[in-house]
Amino acid sequence: MAGDYAYRRLNKDDAVVLLVDHQSGLISLVQDYTPNEFKNNVLALAACAKFFQLPTILTTSFEDGPNGPIVPELKAMFPEAPYIPRPGQINAWDNADFVAAIERTGRKQLVLAGVVTDVCVAFVALSAREAGYEVFAVTDASGTFDQGVRTAALMRMQAAGVQLVNWFAVACELHRDWRNDIEGLGSLLSNHIPNYRNLMTSYFAREQAKG
C-alpha cells in the first residue's frame, strides 16, 4: 500500500542555486572538511549550476570587515549572476535585495550552500521554509567549526523540512537519466571526483572498441 510520503525531486526547471558567504575570511573557519576537499565541493556545486543552467545568486556578508571578499573562482564562474554584498545582515533572508533576486527567478526549489552551516545556511534555510520554499541544503559545500556543530545544524534544518543532500546527489537528481548526456555529466564528475575518471576511462575504452 502506498504511503503518504511524496518524493519531491530536484527539477532543473524549478531550481535556483544560492551561494551564501563563501568568503575568504569565513572559509578559514571551516574545520569539518579539509581546505582542498571543501573548495572542491563548492566548485563542484558551482559546476553543476552551470551544467544544468540553473539561475545562481551570490551573496556576501560584511565583506569590508573580517569576513573578506567572495572566493574569486565563484565570481569568475558567474560574472553575470546577481551579486548581493549585504552591508550587515547576518541572515541573508533579512536583505530585501537577496529575497527579491530569488523571487525574480520564479523558482521554488532553493539549492543552498554557504559558510558557516549553522548560521549562514541554517538561518536562510529556516527563513525560506517559513516563506514556503522547498530547500535543499548542500551539506558538503557548506562548512563550519567542527562535525558536532555541523550535525546540530543539519538536525535543526531537517526538523524544518529541509532536504539534506551532497553535490553529487544534486547532480544525479537533476540529470535523471544517463542517456541525457553521458559524456557531459561524466566529465563534470571526473573533474571533481578523481576516482570517477576511472569509470569514464573504462567507458570511453568500450566505446572505442565498439567503433
Query: Would residue 120 show up in a list of annotated catalytic residues for this protein?
Result: yes
Structure confidence at residue 66 (pLDDT)? 93
Q: Number of folded domains in the chain?
A: 2
Residue 200 has pLDDT above 70, yes or no: no
Q: Which comes out higher in pLDDT, residue 110 or 201?
A: 110
Residue 117 sits in the same domain as residue 193: no
Confidence of residue 195 (pLDDT cuts 50, 70, 90): confident
Confidence of residue 206 (pLDDT cuts 50, 70, 90): low
Domain extent for 160: 15-176
Residue 97 sits in the same domain as residue 145: yes
Residue 6 lies in a domain: no
**In whole angstroms, what is the distance from residue 12 CA to residue 9 CA?**
10
Query: For residue range 86-144, what is the model confidence (pLDDT) as tens digits?
Result: 999 999 999 999 999 999 999 999 999 999 999 999 999 999 999 999 999 999 999 99
Structure confidence at residue 205 (pLDDT)? 59
CA 91, 51, 77, 145 torsion-angle sign:
positive
Residue 133 sits in the same domain as residue 31: yes
Structure confidence at residue 199 (pLDDT)? 65
Question: What CATH number does the domain containing 86 carry?
Answer: 3.40.50.850
Residue 1 has pLDDT above 60, yes or no: no
DSSP assigned state of 33:
S
Residue 193 sits in the same domain as residue 140: no
Residue 128 sits in the same domain as residue 200: no
Residue with cell 535556483: 16
Residue 10 lies in a domain: no
**In whole angstroms, what is the distance from residue 195 CA to residue 85 CA?**
37
Confidence of residue 4 (pLDDT cuts 50, 70, 90): confident
Structure confidence at residue 196 (pLDDT)? 79
Residue 3 lies in a domain: no
Catalytic position from the list 15, 70, 120, 125? 120
Confidence of residue 211 (pLDDT cuts 50, 70, 90): low
Query: For residue range 131-186, what is the model confidence (pLDDT) as tens digits?
Result: 999 999 999 999 999 999 999 999 999 999 999 999 999 999 999 998 898 888 98
Mean pLDDT value of segment 176-205: 82
Residue 203 has pLDDT above 80, yes or no: no
Residue 32 sits in the same domain as residue 136: yes
Residue 190 sits in the same domain as residue 147: no
pTM reported for the whole predicted model? 0.94
Query: For residue range 19-34, what is the model confidence (pLDDT) as tens digits?
Result: 999 999 999 999 999 9
Residue 127 lies in a domain: yes
**In whole angstroms, what is the distance from residue 15 CA to residue 12 CA?**
5
**In whole angstroms, what is the distance from residue 201 CA to residue 103 CA?**
42
Residue 77 sits in the same domain as residue 130: yes
Residue 45 sits in the same domain as residue 79: yes
